[in-house]
Amino acid sequence: MKALGYQVIDMIVDHMQDIPNKNPIAKAGRSEMDWLLHEPLPEEGMEATKVLDIVSKTILSNSALLNHPKFYSFVPSPSNYISVLADTLATGFNIFSGAWTSSPGAAELELLTINWLLKLVGFPIREGGGIFVSGGSMANLTALVTARHEKLGEDFGDACIYFSDQTHSSVDRALLIIGFKKSQFRKIPCDEQFRIPLDKLKKQIAADRADGKQPFCLIANAGTTNTGAVDPLYQLATLCRQEKLWMHVDAAYGGGALLARQSQKIMAGIELADSVTIDPHKWFYQPYEIGAVLVRNHEWLAGTFRMNPEYLRDVKGNAEEINFYDHGVQLTRRLRALKFYMSVKTYGLGTFRRAVENSLTLAEQVAEHLKSKSCWEIVAPPSLAVINFRLKPEGFPSDKLDELNQFVSDQIISSQQAMLATTIIHGKKVLRMCLINPATKLDDVMETITLLEGFGEVFEG
Ligand SMILES: Cc1ncc(COP(=O)(O)O)c(C=O)c1O
């Protein structure tokens, strides 16, 4: 057991050290993977080291490296070694994090680490609460079930939900899962800065009220996926109070920015929300899967999710001793808090803070560089370390710019030098960089930009 374990640790450490020399992109198609892996269900076992070898050659080597310094797309995932070990411990001890009686240590740790997040957000510690879930999608779903329960009960046919057209698709999905119809969504087109416009929002709410509908919930963004935009949280919170709307803030991506001095102002107002999604597996450097939903009043979670089945009577305990199975969707839960705890204790929050601040600075430096060159257009300036830009050589036909930028993105991906996908901003196809990996240096980005310029010249030629 130990020899096999040491081998696994060696593989992980070697991999982590070698990431910058590896290819960030996974290219294998379905038929290739079928050919590599498909086999009948094995009746007989084989040596564990041989299985490890298969895994190494077929599965691990066919995975994109979202923590590669040149993986700029989606939300990169810069993990950390301490949390990897914490996850290993949590799995090795197979801790059941549902009931207090089965794991008081785990429950207390979740209370402690959720309190840390409550403090970061500015929610009240004693009244506030929260729970770790698999990620942002599950956190948004958990928050919206809670909002629906608290505000509407079981009768929600006339309710309307407000959010900008830049809101993450997990919100649409969560609303559909929990039984809202698309006709109840009020997706407000964003303004020039990709934020929800207050005037349009107010008009829509008024129109819905006049129509006999029930405005119920606003979902604000603190870091949109496309551009890192932050909605005007403070004004939205004021409006929500006036209109008696539940305010949920999706800070799944942007939550890490709460650490940085530069972003205190833009994030102000988040503390006035009713619920917040934050994903430690994004900008808090945690390996998958750890998301968090935080609520202003912890009783809302238990009030929504508690079921009291007869077979759990004996583990119910008292009100002080929290059973996290009462606070969310999952009964059987792994110990997610451990990696957050161990990594913050080991590195200190200051290390995370400096890393977030450096990423914000890096995005500004990249913007300065792009501005200094006439062939680039910045379509959305850096916000929370996300920047959107496109090649726009002087005199180049504007109706061919989308094609040009798709071409350079395709070329860089097939060269396997960097992962840089496109998105659509204000109807323009752009290159989107999310620069949250502390391993990404200005030189890495410069190299990538030079490569893109070269591909652009090939297209023009
Ligand atoms: C703003 C935002 N919300 C929610 C999510 C969904 O999070 P997850 O992928 O962890 O489910 C994402 C994912 O990128 C996101 O960027």
Confidence check: pLDDT of 316 > 90: no
What is the reported pLDDT for 312? 86
Taking alpha carbons only, the member of 142, 120, 123 closest to residue 131 is 142
pLDDT confidence of 447, banded at 50, 70, 90? very high
Residue ranges per domain, the chain? 2-68, 88-348, 350-460
The b-or-e profile of 372-386 (16+ CB within 10 A means b, else e) is: eeebbbbbbbbbbbb
Chain segment 237-282, per-residue pLDDT in tens: 999 999 999 999 999 999 999 999 999 999 999 999 999 999 999 9
Alpha carbons 238 and 344: distance in angstroms, whole number:
34
Alpha carbons 224 and 195: distance in angstroms, whole number:
9
Which pTM was predicted?
0.97
Chain segment 392-406, per-residue pLDDT in tens: 999 999 999 999 999
pLDDT confidence of 313, banded at 50, 70, 90? confident
The CATH number of domain 88-348, selected from 3.30.70.20, 3.40.50.12780, 3.40.640.10, 3.30.390.10 = 3.40.640.10
pLDDT confidence of 320, banded at 50, 70, 90? confident
Say yes or no: domain 350-460 is CATH 3.40.50.720: no
Percent of the chain predicted with pLDDT > 70: 100
Alpha carbons 358 and 137: distance in angstroms, whole number:
27
Comparing 225-239, 275-289, 306-320, 375-389, which segment has the lowest mean pLDDT? Answer: 306-320
Give me the residues paired with residue 277 across strands. Answer: 250, 293
Confidence check: pLDDT of 317 > 80: no
Confidence check: pLDDT of 460 > 90: no
CB contact at 8 A, 74 and 434: yes
To the nearest whole number, what is the mean pLDDT of the chain? 97
Mean pLDDT confidence for 336-363: 98
Alpha carbons 276 and 284: distance in angstroms, whole number:
15
Chain segment 183-229, per-residue pLDDT in tens: 999 999 999 999 999 999 999 999 999 999 999 999 999 999 999 99
Residue-level length of the chain: 461
Distance in Å from the first CA to the final CA of the chain: 59
Quote the ligand 1 centre to 289 CA distance (angstroms): 12
Quote the ligand 1 centre to 434 CA distance (angstroms): 13
- Which residues approach ligand 1 with their CB closer than 6 A? 75, 135-137, 140, 168, 170, 223, 225, 250, 252-253, 279, 291
What is the reported pLDDT for 311? 86
Paired sense of beta strands 246-251 and 275-278, if any: parallel
Paired sense of beta strands 214-221 and 129-133, if any: unpaired
Comparing 105-119, 135-149, 301-315, which segment has the lowest mean pLDDT? Answer: 301-315
What is the reported pLDDT for 324? 97
User: Who's near 357: CB < 8 A, 6+ residues apart?
Assistant: 259, 260, 261, 262
pLDDT confidence of 439, banded at 50, 70, 90? very high
Alpha carbons 179 and 162: distance in angstroms, whole number:
16
CB contact at 8 A, 445 and 75: no
CB contact at 8 A, 274 and 147: yes
What is the reported pLDDT for 130? 98
Alpha carbons 50 and 450: distance in angstroms, whole number:
43
Q: Which of 75, 221, 277 to mutate to test the pocket of ligand 1 (most atoms within 8 A of CB)?
A: 75
| Higher-pLDDT residue of 70, 313 | 70
Residue 280: phi and psi, rounded to 5, are -60, -25
Q: Which of 171, 231, 250, 279 to mutate to test the pocket of ligand 1 (most atoms within 8 A of CB)?
A: 279
Read off the tokens for 88. Answer: 């290993």
